[in-house]
Amino acid sequence: MEKKAVLAVSFGTSYKEVIESCIVPVEKAIAGALCGWDFYRAFTSGMITKKLSEKEHIFIDRPPEALKKLYEAGYRDFIVQPTHILAGTEYHALKAQTEDFAREHAPVTAKSGTIDTPSFFSRDSWDSTSKVRILSTSSPKKSMR
């Protein structure tokens, strides 16, 4: 049986409590939607991953490192799922990294190296209620000031 993985990618935060209250619920929704797929996390911000490792001793890969580790662990079927709301600079960089990685690390399955779009990728998706439902049920109930 082929190993399958989903890599959830967020910008990140250097606050442990915000990871738990904001990022983890979204990750759980992603993992729950892909039963039978192994789940992994990456943050796009190098400043955030550096600060977490130095100050909190929490080690979170950036996407290129996470993809390399997945490949080395034998995954040939993987999906990169960004948690970004909009398709900005971070998303486009992640998309390019994912596509480059998939091209350079063949053989891969048809799904491997695919990247989903952010919640509000195009004007058409603004009317989508399914993604809004996931976001609203995953968001924290209290202010994080």
The amino acid at residue 21 is S
Q: What is the predicted pLDDT for the residue at 39?
A: 95
**Residue in 63, 124, 129 with CA at minimum distance from that of residue 91:** 63
Dump pLDDT digits (tens) for 109-142: 535 456 666 655 555 544 444 444 444 444 444 4
What pLDDT, in 10s, does the model give residues 49-88? 999 999 999 999 999 999 999 999 998 888 888 988 878 8
What distance in Å separates the CA atoms of residue 112 and residue 101, rounded to the nearest whole number?
10
pLDDT at 105: 80
